[in-house]
Structure 1
Amino acid sequence: MNTKPTATASGVTSSSSVFGAPCWVSLMTRDLRAAQDFYGAAMGWEFRRARLGEQFSVALEDGRPVAGIGALASALQVAVAWTPYFAVQDADRTTARIRERSGTVAVGPVGFVVGRGALAADRDGAVFGIWEGQLLSGWEMWRAAAPAWLRLRTRDAFEAAIFYGEVFDWATDRPGSCDVEYEADEVVLRSEGHVVARLSSGALEAAPDPAIRPRWEVHFPVRDVDGRAAAAQRHGGTLVHHEPGAQATLRDPDGGLFTITARTVTE
C-alpha cells in the first residue's frame, strides 16, 4: 500500500515519506557560471540560488524547478556528471546497506542546512545520490511536472533491481514503498502510480565509450529535440548520439552527459 507524501510542520515534504523514490537530479560541475550559461542557452533554463548555499542553484523552466547545478569543491575527486538522488529515511543506515551489498560510498553522508546527502555507486559502478531531510520547496510540483526521468543502463537489470530494492526497500509492504514491475527485458519503478525510473540491461562495464557503461541516465523531455541539440552544439556541447526528432545524448562543455527526449503532445 502506498500513501501520499506527508509534510513537515513547515509544509515542506520530508524524504521519509517518499523513501526509495527519485527526489531530484543534479549536476556537479567545475564552473557554476559557465554551466548556467550553457544550460540557459541550450535548454532555455533560468536559475535561482538554492537553499544549500551560494555554490548551488536551481534550474527553472517556465518558473518550475527542473534540476540542480552546483560547483564541485576542489577537494572532491568526483567526475562532472548528472546524478539522480533517491529519498531515504536514514542516510547512515542506507550507506551501510550499500557497502554491505558491495556498492561504494564515495562521499558522505554530508550535512547541509536542510538535510544530509551522500554519493555512492552500485556494484557495476553506476553513480547515484541519496538524500535524507527536507525535499525541494515545490517538490510536489517537480514530481507532477516530471521535468526529468531516469534510466539505469546496467549489465543486468534484474540483478540491479535486487541491489537497489534491498538498499531502498522497494517492493515492500511499507507505506510509501516504490513498486517494481517487470516488462520484457526492463524493470520499471513506480512511485504512487507514476513511472519514475527504468532499469535496462546491456551496458558494458569495460566499454571505452562512457555513454554505454553502466550509469544512470538523466533524460529531459523537450518540445524540439533537434533544435535543442543544435543549440547545445552552438554553445560548446558535443553530440554523442542522435535519433532525429526522438532523442539526443549530449555532453556539456565540462563533460557532463545528459539526454533530451521528445515531449509528447499530452505532456
Structure 2
Amino acid sequence: MTLLSRELPAAQAFYGDVLGWTYRPAGLGDDFCVALSDGMPVAGIGALAASLQVAVSWTPYFAVADVDKAAARIRERGATVAVGPLAFHSGRAALATDPDGAAFGIWEGAVRSDWTVGRGSAPAWLELRTRDTDDAARFYSQVLGWAPETEGGFTLVREHDHAVLRQDEHVVAKIRGGGVQATSDPRIRPRWHVYFRVPEVSGSVAAALNGGGALLSPPDASPAPVEATLRDPDGALFTVTSR
C-alpha cells in the first residue's frame, strides 16, 4: 500500500499518532518513506499527490512480471493508465484506474514477502467496492493473472455476494458490488479500501480526531469496538480494525 499525500511530515505525524508507526527512508528521495509497525514495514508514504495531480488516497500496488504488458492489458480492457510506467531504483511502476474508476498501481521489481497484505505487520486486508463484482473480478483476473485455481499464487473465488482473493490461503482482498459512481459519499464510490490492524480501535479514533481527521463510520457501542472508518486531514480513507 502507498499513500500519495500532500505533505510528508504532516502525514507521518498523523499516522504515527493514529497507528503507532515510525518511519525510515525508502531510497526514493526525501519525499518518500517506509512506514514501520514494531520495526516491520507496513506501507509507503510519499508527498507526491500535488506533483502527480492525483487525489490523496491509499492505493494498492500489485506485483506484475512485466509492467509494460500489464499496462497494455489495462488499456485494452477499457481502463486508464494515468501515470507511468516510471522507473525507480528497484523497479518500475504505473498508476491506473479500472473501468469503474477505482485507482490501483502495478509494480515490476523486487517484492518483499513481509509486505504482503494479510500477513504480519502488513495491512489486514483490502476491499474493492465496485459497480459489479463479476465484471471487476474478470478485469483484475485478466490484467493481473488472478485465477480460480493457481498453484502457489493468487486465487480469486466467488463466495456468496462477493469475491475473495487469497494467496496461500491468506485473505488479501475482497471484491464487493454495489458501488455508485455518481454518489457524493466516498465510501460508496468505486474504490480500493485498506484495513489496518490496531490494538484498540477507540484509541486510534481519538488520535485521528485530535490530529484533524474525521470519523466516517462510527465504531459500534460495545466496550471494545472492532472497527471504524476514518478520513485523514488530506481526505484519504482507511479503516482501523482489531479483528
Give 5+ residue unaligned stretches, structure 1.
1-24
**RCO higher in structure (CA 8 A, sep ≥6):** 1
Structure 1 counterpart SS, 2:3? strand
Structure 1 counterpart SS, 2:204? helix
Partner in structure 2 of residue 91 of structure 1? 67
Structure 2 counterpart SS, 1:124? coil
Query: RMSD in angstroms over aligned alpha carbons?
Result: 1.5
Moved more, 65-74 or 35-44: 65-74
The 5 Å alignment of 1:20-169 reads: 25-72=1-48, 74-135=50-111, 139-143=112-116, 144-145=119-120, 147-148=122-123, 149-169=125-145
The 5 Å alignment of 1:132-211 reads: 132-135=108-111, 139-143=112-116, 144-145=119-120, 147-148=122-123, 149-171=125-147, 176-211=152-187
Structure 1 counterpart SS, 2:100? coil
Identity of aligned residues (%): 55
226, 236, 239: which is aligned to 1:246? 226
**Counterpart residue identity of residue 7, structure 2:** D
Partner in structure 2 of residue 261 of structure 1? 241
Against the structure 1 CA distance between its residues 162 and 200, is the aligned structure 2 distance closer, same or farther, given a 3 Å change threshold? same
Matches of 1:95 and 1:88 in 2, distance apart?
10
Matches of 1:249 and 1:64 in 2, distance apart?
24
Give the TM-score of the pair, scaled to structure 2: 0.93
Matches of 1:29 and 1:98 in 2, distance apart?
25
Give 5+ residue unaligned stretches, structure 2.
none
Contact 1:52–1:114 under 8 Å retained in 2: no
**Count of residues in correspondence between the two structures:** 236
Q: CA deviation at 1:157?
A: 1.1
Give the TM-score of the pair, scaled to structure 1: 0.85
**Counterpart residue identity of residue 9, structure 2:** R
Contact 1:45–1:61 under 8 Å retained in 2: yes
Q: CA deviation at 1:246?
A: 2.1
Structure 1 counterpart SS, 2:207? helix
Q: CA deviation at 1:74?
A: 4.0
Cα-to-partner distance string for 1:85-119 (whole Å, 9 max, x where unaligned): 00000000000000000011100000000000010
Matches of 2:151 and 2:95 in 1, distance apart?
26
Cα-to-partner distance string for 1:22-80 (whole Å, 9 max, x where unaligned): xxx01011100010011111111101011222211111111111111001164321111
Structure 2 counterpart SS, 1:95? helix
Matches of 2:101 and 2:49 in 1, distance apart?
22
